Amino acid sequence: MTSKVFIVNPKIIVIIDCGHGGIDDNGIYTTRGKQFKFPDGSIAYEGVYNRLIGAKISEKLIKAGLETVYTVDPCDATDMSLVDRVKIEHNLQKDNYTTLFISCHSNAGGGRGFEIFTSVGQTKSDILATAIGEEIKATFPQIKFRTDTTDGDLDKESNFYVLKHTIGAAVLIENLFFDNREDFELLRSESFQNRVSEAISTGILNYSNKC
């Protein structure tokens, strides 16, 4: 079996946007509301998993030859405003880079599974979302992929700030539900983090192969 060859465009930069903050040096979680305490006392911190998965995506893309930047360093617990996150993408666009904006999140609200959001309407973001979604579905066929099938795409559409105000292709990925016990156990598993980051990075590379 031969490995797939990816053709890397040197003018593509993948922006890894790890949603929310992390846990600071004092052990304090820096983003209120983005956590959930289970009856046994276990606490899920969304921003922590976003950063772990985002860092692994970046590592895999760099290994494949793509350049990446973070909106905020995963090792820094500080949160960043949505405006400042988008400014990073705008500045790279001014330098004539093709940007792919990948915002990593985890959902909440009692559901289960994956979702990928794009801005409203048919854009190149839909193609990127489908490329990533297909890899996630193939990697985790047993886990629900929550989608809006009315337009035939794998993505859902929303006016989230980082999707509405970025210029290039942009997706927001909800990796499972951090307030669901089954999903929580996966999110804190390094094995899952490696597998989902591999699926996402492969989807990105499949998309960039066609740019």
The reply to whether 39 falls in a domain is yes
Averaged over 94-111, what is the pLDDT?
Answer: 94
The reply to whether 9 falls in a domain is no
CA distance 63 to 52: 17
1 falls in which pLDDT band (50, 70, 90)?
Answer: very low
Q: Which domain holds residue 203?
A: 17-22+30-208
153 falls in which pLDDT band (50, 70, 90)?
Answer: confident
CA distance 45 to 19: 11
The reply to whether 151 falls in a domain is yes
The reply to whether 115 falls in a domain is yes
The reply to whether 34 falls in a domain is yes
For position 9, what pLDDT does the model report? 65
- Per-residue model confidence as pLDDT tens digits over 20-34: 999 999 999 999 899
Confidence (pTM): 0.93
For position 163, what pLDDT does the model report? 97
- Looking at the 3D structure of the chain, how many domains does it have? 1
For the domain that residue 121 is a member of, what is the CATH number? 3.40.630.40
Strands 169-177 and 98-107: parallel
147 falls in which pLDDT band (50, 70, 90)?
Answer: confident
Report whether 42 contacts 179 (CB < 8 A): no
The reply to whether 10 falls in a domain is no
More confident position, 122 or 189:
189
For position 149, what pLDDT does the model report? 64
The reply to whether 8 falls in a domain is no
Report phi then psi at 8, rounded to 5.
-95, 125
The reply to whether 132 falls in a domain is yes
Residues 6+ apart with CB under 8 A from 147: 115, 116, 133, 153, 154, 155, 156
140 pLDDT higher than 60 = yes
110 falls in which pLDDT band (50, 70, 90)?
Answer: confident
